[in-house]
């Protein structure tokens, strides 16, 4: 029974993973990846780890993939176009490295196979929420605290990366000289189809383009 | 017939390899990001399988921590992707040649 479930969900996971790599539309890739996550959650249940299975569904299939799909929709990603293969000379090396990786995996699998352990299918509290919480707050308290610091850093980093504040902050007094502006940054109100950037060659041109006026120079617009 | 530990390890190896291949052949940043998530999940499967077969709690705790790291990675990584797209109008990794945004 468990073997049948394993084969079912393992096949589903591998099929969805291959589908994810083969798809050219990122949205289809994301949906395939959700299939992989759900299959893995089912495998966690058969491994007597219900808490990890629930967290897998909530955090991975729920939060992370919603974020990814949101970004795909936000950026309006189109399909990848087919392009000729670069670095064709490296293909034999790639095949050889893949063979080495496969051989290592086979070696490890058979190495484990010769030392079989009795699987834990008797009733135990290993995967239960209370035992995980107990371990998390006693033995592994330091990794837990480090993880919280990591999350804080991720929050600050994400806000820093996502914050635009416009092209110039409201208190900016100095306009840089020669540079290239994306057209949509210059005019946020209108929808612009032309996506070619605008180049300026002097500070004065950049000022005119951005609509920034100098106070100390009377004759400037 | 009961699944052996090696079955789970083999599945994990296959999933990890598919993730590696995806990172290699994909040129879209978001697709590469999803392949990295797949690799993280393959490692998680190994952790849970060992934890369940050896009756040790540590593996599942580390899966929990790996998931937290993956969530942080998703937040920061997608922020970087949006910043790249905003500056380059493209998600192609071949277009992003310099680290300067």
β-pair partners for A57: none
CB contact under 8 A, A64 and B71: yes
Q: How many domains does chain B have?
A: 1
Question: What pLDDT was estimated at residue B55?
Answer: 84
Note whether B50 contacts A: Cβ–Cβ < 8 A: no
Please give the share of chain A, as a percent, with pLDDT higher than 70: 68
Distance between CA atoms of A128 and A186, rounded to whole angstroms?
55
A68-72, A136-140, A211-215, range with the lowest pLDDT: A211-215
Nearest-angstrom CA–CA distance, B101 and B88: 8
CATH architecture of A1-77: Up-down Bundle (1.20)
- Alpha helical stretches, state H, chain A: 2-22, 26-46, 50-55, 65-75, 91-113, 129-137, 141-162, 183-186, 203-210
The pLDDT, as a whole number, for residue A195 is 66
| pLDDT at residue A114, as a whole number | 56
A45 chain-B contacts, CB cut-off 8 A: none
pLDDT of the residue at A172:
52
- All structural domains of chain A with their residue ranges: 1-77, 128-163, 179-210
Residue B10 lies in a domain: yes
Asked which of A72-81, B29-38, B72-81 is least confident by mean pLDDT, the reply is A72-81
> Three-state DSSP class for B92?
strand
- Spell out which residues of chain B touch residue A151, defining contact as CB-CB under 8 Å: 68, 71-72
Is B98 an interface residue toward A (CB < 8 Å)?
A: no
Q: What is the mean pLDDT of residues A108-115?
A: 66
Residues of B in contact with A108 (CB under 8 A): 9, 13
pLDDT at A176: 57
The confidence score (pLDDT) of residue A112 equals 65
Please answer yes or no on whether A21 and B35 come within 8 Å at the CB atom: yes
In a domain, B98, yes or no: no
Q: Shortest CA distance to A139 belongs to which of B64, B52, B58?
A: B58
Sort out which chain B residues have CB atoms less than 8 A from A40's CB and list them: 41, 44-45
Residue range A94-111, pLDDT digits in tens: 889 888 987 887 787 777
ipTM, 2 dp: 0.92
H/E segment holding residue A180: strand A179-181
Domain CATH code at residue B11: 1.10.287.3510
Q: How far is the alpha carbon of A151 from chain B, nearest alpha carbon, in Å?
A: 6
Q: What is the overall mean pLDDT for chain A?
A: 78
**Closest partner CB to A26 (pick from B28, B79, B85):** B28
Tens digit of each residue's pLDDT (9 = 90 or more) over A17-46: 999 999 888 999 999 999 999 999 999 999
Give yes or no for a contact between A65 and A32, defined as CB atoms under 8 angstroms apart: no
How confident is the model at residue A16, as a pLDDT? 94
Query: Are residues B6 and A80, on separate chains, in Cβ contact within 8 Å?
Result: no
Q: Inter-chain contact A68–B78, Cβ cutoff 8 Å?
A: yes
Strongest mean pLDDT among A119-123, A189-193, A200-204: A200-204
Hey, is A196 helix, strand or coil?
Answer: coil
Q: Answer whether residue B56 is part of any domain.
A: yes
Burial string for B29-68 (b: 16+ CB within 10 Å, else e) reads: bbbbbbbbbbbbbbbbbbbbbbbbbbeebebbbbbbbbbb
Which string of DSSP letters, residue by residue, matches A109-166?
HHHHHTS------S--STTSHHHHHHHHHTTTHHHHHHHHHHHHHHHHHHHHHH----
Is B99 domain-assigned?
no
CB contact under 8 A, A75 and B81: yes
B2 closest CB neighbour out of A3, A56, A195? A3
Residue closest to B8 by CA, chosen among B45, B40, B54, B57: B45
Residue B84: give the domain boundaries.
5-88
Q: Does A153 contact B70 at a Cβ distance shorter than 8 Å? A: no
Q: Which helix (H) or strand (E) holds A199?
A: strand A198-200
Look at the block and give the residue holding tokens 């992003």: B96
The reply to whether residue B55 touches residue A126, judged by beta carbons under 8 angstroms, is: yes
* Short-list A59, A53, A55, A58, CA closest to A41: A53
Digit-coded pLDDT (tens) for B10-59: 899 889 989 998 998 888 889 999 999 999 999 999 999 999 888 888 88
Helix-then-strand count for chain B, H and E: 3, 0
């Amino acid at each position: 029974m468990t073997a049948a479930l394993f084969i079912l969900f393992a096949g589903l996971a591998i099929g969805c993973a291959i589908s994810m790599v083969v798809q050219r539309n990122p949205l289809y890739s994301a949906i395939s990846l959700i299939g992989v996550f759900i299959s893995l959650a089912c495998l966690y249940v058969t491994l007597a780890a219900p808490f990890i299975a629930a967290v897998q569904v909530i955090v991975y299939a729920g939060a992370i993939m919603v974020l990814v799909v949101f970004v795909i929709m936000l950026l309006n990603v189109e399909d990848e176009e087919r392009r000729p293969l670069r670095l064709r000379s490296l293909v034999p090396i790639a095949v050889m490295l893949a063979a080495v990786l496969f051989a290592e995996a086979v070696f490890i699998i058979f190495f484990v196979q010769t030392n079989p352990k009795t699987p834990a299918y008797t009733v135990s509290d290993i995967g239960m929420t209370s035992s995980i919480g107990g371990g998390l707050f006693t033995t592994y308290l330091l990794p837990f605290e480090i993880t919280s610091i990591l999350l804080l850093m991720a929050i600050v980093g994400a806000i820093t990366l996502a914050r635009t504040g416009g092209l110039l902050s409201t208190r900016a007094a100095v306009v840089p000289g020669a540079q290239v502006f994306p057209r949509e940054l210059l005019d946020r109100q209108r929808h612009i189809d032309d996506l070619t950037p605008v180049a300026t060659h002097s500070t004065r041109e950049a000022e005119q383009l951005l609509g920034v006026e100098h106070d100390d120079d009377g004759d400037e617009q | 017939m009961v699944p052996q530990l090696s079955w789970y390890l083999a599945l994990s190896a296959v999933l990890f390899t598919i993730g590696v291949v995806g990172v290699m052949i994909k040129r879209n940043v978001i697709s590469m990001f999803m392949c990295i998530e797949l690799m993280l999940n393959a490692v998680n499967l190994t952790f849970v399988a060992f934890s369940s077969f050896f009756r040790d709690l540590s593996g599942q705790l580390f899966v929990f921590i790996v998931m937290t790291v993956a969530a942080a990675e998703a937040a920061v990584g997608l922020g970087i992707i949006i910043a790249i797209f905003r500056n380059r109008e493209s998600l192609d990794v071949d277009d992003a040649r310099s680290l300067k945004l």
